[in-house]
Structure 1
Amino acid sequence: MINKEKIISKDMFAPVHIDPSKSEKIAKPSMSAWQDAWLRVRKNKAAVISMVILAILIIMAFVGPLITPYDYSDQTTKHNNLPPRIQGLENIHWLPFDGTLTKRDGSEYNAYEVRKVDNYYWFGTDSLGRDLFARVWKGTQVSLFIAFMAALIDMLIGVSYGAISGYLGGKVDSSMQRIIEVIVGIPNLIVVVLMTLVLNPGIFPIILALTITGWTSMARVVRGQVLKYKGQEFVMAAKTLGASDGSIIFKHMIPNMFGVIIINTMFSIPSAIFFEAFLSFIGLGLQEPAASLGTLVNDGFKGMIAFPYQMIIPSLMIALIMVCFNMVADGLRDALDPKMRD
């Protein structure tokens, strides 16, 4: 006998009533590629913190010299080699802003009281009595300007050169790559020495020396991207519609490489800052009375044992800028890489 309770009726296969308006629902709002990348950057706490620090440093590089009553080039020899002293913090002895110095025998004394100085120098003064607060921010301004200009020129030359080389291919590409290999084989220091001998030391020779050999890495990266894109459908469609080679390169290919270009540019900025500081430290950079972070480190190095703050403050500034730029570049690389998508 068949158990009536186990009989399967046709009513059991009736479709469940579903509201069509709720059957399909998009979980996330529609976003462009750049909005999606920014959302990923915000998830990277180190990159966000580094962006905030860089924004503060860039603002202070322009505002800092204006909020102190002393000019970065003014010399007051009576106030030379004074330690940092900040009004309101001078009575907190565990902070290094009370104006004390340490003698060779280990005893401490207040340099401002001994020399009867009523002024306040937030970062102290150098051997010529110049305010280090104004000089550090002015040096940061100059170093950032050199780095950004060098990175911008490297980007313009490298992107154009690499895109043309990769798109044309053949003998043209081979010849252009041999030129890059020759340039890469020339050490940067030799180029800088030659620029210093031919031109007077200054900002322009340093930027020129950085750009002579700095654009080659960008050119190689862009060339590789062009070789990958030039056989794809959107390029073939542009050719079929009669677009010129220049239009295909600069209107179709390069916009698809913005992520790679931005990342390489961000990585080149800290390298340029370090190289400028190195040149100034060995005496091939800016000359007095101009200031950069490298010249400040060079000046502080001469009195490092007796007055360590003169070298520590600009050195920390260089380290902070380089670390922040590298962290931002890492965050952008992860955000703009399609392989990192959730």
Structure 2
Amino acid sequence: MSLHEEKLPKELFEPASPDHKEAEKIERKSLNYWQDAWLRIRKNKGAVISLVVLLLLTLLALFGPMMNDKPYYKQYTPHANLPPRVPVLENVKWLPFDGVRTTQSGNVVNPYEEKQINDYYWFGTDNLGRDLWSRVWKGSQISLMIAVLAALIDLVIGVIYGAISGYFGGRIDNIMQRIIEILMGIPNLVIVILMIILFKPGFGPIILALTITGWINMARVVRAQVMKMKEQEFVLASRTLGLGHAKIISKHMLPNLAGVMIINTMFTIPSAIFFEAFLSFIGLGLQDPLASLGTLIDDGFKVMLAYPTQMIFPAIVISVIMIAFNLIADGLRDALDPKMRD
């Protein structure tokens, strides 16, 4: 039989009967916005490690002062300026926890043996004999508390101010933006110093000083996003259905701005920690017996050549906290900001 005379089987010409259930079957579980963001954050190893480190430091800030029987405010001058000494680790000579220090003349001394002290001070003591372990973690607790409270206040003020300015626009927007420009034209440090001097250094005045101009960046970001969002279809539909301005902003706009708000807040916290430390370092921070990481670094800086560990430990803690917050903020920006998505 020739090629032209070959007959094809009829089965090849029958219509296919696909299984529609299998065709429409979804192999992967559908994810909402936050679940998808969490998967993206998990892929960022730096953000995950930073989150674990930050949780550990937060736990130490909360419970560290309770881990020994030496309160952060208790003074005992006979135990002043002792180097770090930790049980078990004191036998490891290459670690700086053996209770030995080197003097400025180069001599190696053991103050614990010289003063016949049997106590252990894990981070050493300051010039008044106060336990630096308790003071470092108490200072971390206060610094984190100040920064988080200041960031939350900035979030509330900035979101409300920016949403109103961007939503209504026109003359209201012009007036509100001129107020922001006036505040931005005044150096932030001048405002903070005047506020601290007016109210005297303390916990409350520092938070107030940090929030006077700290909300401006949040307000400008929210305003820009609201101005783009207010012309979209879902907002126009809400207006057509008779929804009021307050409900449109609170129920439709702000939930869509959650990612931007979280990202900016996470970047605000390390900035507030650094600024509070700077104020404490120049003598405008908390007063004794309270301590923050800034006051501890300031105290350690004064005796850095003779007793370097008094500055090294709080400096390491504040550096790790700021790096962790910034890496987490970068991870959140990559996960929540649509522009950063691959």
* Cα drift, residue 341 of structure 1: 4.1
TM-score, length-normalised on structure 2? 0.96
Query: CA separation in 1, counterparts of 2:261 and 2:308?
Result: 40
Q: Does 1:192 align with 2:192?
A: yes
Which residues of structure 1 form unaligned runs of 5+? none
Q: Does 1:208 align with 2:208?
A: yes
Cα 1:300/1:292, change in 2 over 3 Å: same
* Cα drift, residue 16 of structure 1: 4.6
Query: CA separation in 2, counterparts of 1:208 and 1:93?
Result: 47
More divergent stretch after superposition (29-38 vs 294-303) = 29-38
Contact 1:188–1:209 (8 Å) recurs in 2: no
> 1:106 is matched with which residue?
106
Query: CA separation in 1, counterparts of 2:267 and 2:10?
Result: 68
Q: Does 1:117 align with 2:117?
A: yes
Query: CA separation in 2, counterparts of 1:110 and 1:117?
Result: 10
SS of structure 2 residue aligned to 1:125: coil
* Cα drift, residue 57 of structure 1: 1.0
> 1:310 is matched with which residue?
310
Contact 2:196–2:209 (8 Å) recurs in 1: no
Equivalent position amino acid for 1:93 in 2 = K
Query: CA separation in 2, counterparts of 1:27 and 1:298?
Result: 59
Cα 1:202/1:6, change in 2 over 3 Å: farther
Correspondences of 1:127-276 after superposition (within 5 Å): 127-276=127-276
**Cα deviation 1:75-126 (Å, max 9, x = unaligned):** 0100000010001111110111000100223232222112211000000000
> 2:19 is matched with which residue?
19
Cα 1:9/1:90, change in 2 over 3 Å: same
Query: CA separation in 2, counterparts of 1:79 and 1:197?
Result: 34
Equivalent position amino acid for 2:242 in 1 = G
Contact 2:146–2:273 (8 Å) recurs in 1: yes
Q: Does 1:292 align with 2:304?
A: no
SS of structure 2 residue aligned to 1:323: helix
Cα 1:329/1:6, change in 2 over 3 Å: farther
Query: CA separation in 2, counterparts of 1:7 and 1:177?
Result: 82
> 1:29 is matched with which residue?
29
**Cα deviation 1:268-296 (Å, max 9, x = unaligned):** 00000000000000001111111000000
Query: CA separation in 1, counterparts of 2:75 and 2:140?
Result: 20
Q: CA RMSD in A?
A: 1.5
Which residues of structure 2 form unaligned runs of 5+? none
> 1:78 is matched with which residue?
78
Runs of 4+ residues deviating >6 angstroms = none
Query: CA separation in 2, counterparts of 1:88 and 1:34?
Result: 46
Cα 1:13/1:134, change in 2 over 3 Å: same
Contact 1:99–1:111 (8 Å) recurs in 2: yes
More divergent stretch after superposition (283-292 vs 252-261) = 283-292
* Cα drift, residue 3 of structure 1: 1.6
Query: CA separation in 1, counterparts of 2:259 and 2:97?
Result: 44
Contact 2:333–2:340 (8 Å) recurs in 1: no
Query: CA separation in 1, counterparts of 2:228 and 2:337?
Result: 16
Correspondences of 1:329-340 after superposition (within 5 Å): 329-340=329-340
Cα 1:6/1:68, change in 2 over 3 Å: farther
Q: Does 1:56 align with 2:56?
A: yes
Query: CA separation in 2, counterparts of 1:122 and 1:292?
Result: 18
Equivalent position amino acid for 2:333 in 1 = R
Equivalent position amino acid for 2:120 in 1 = Y
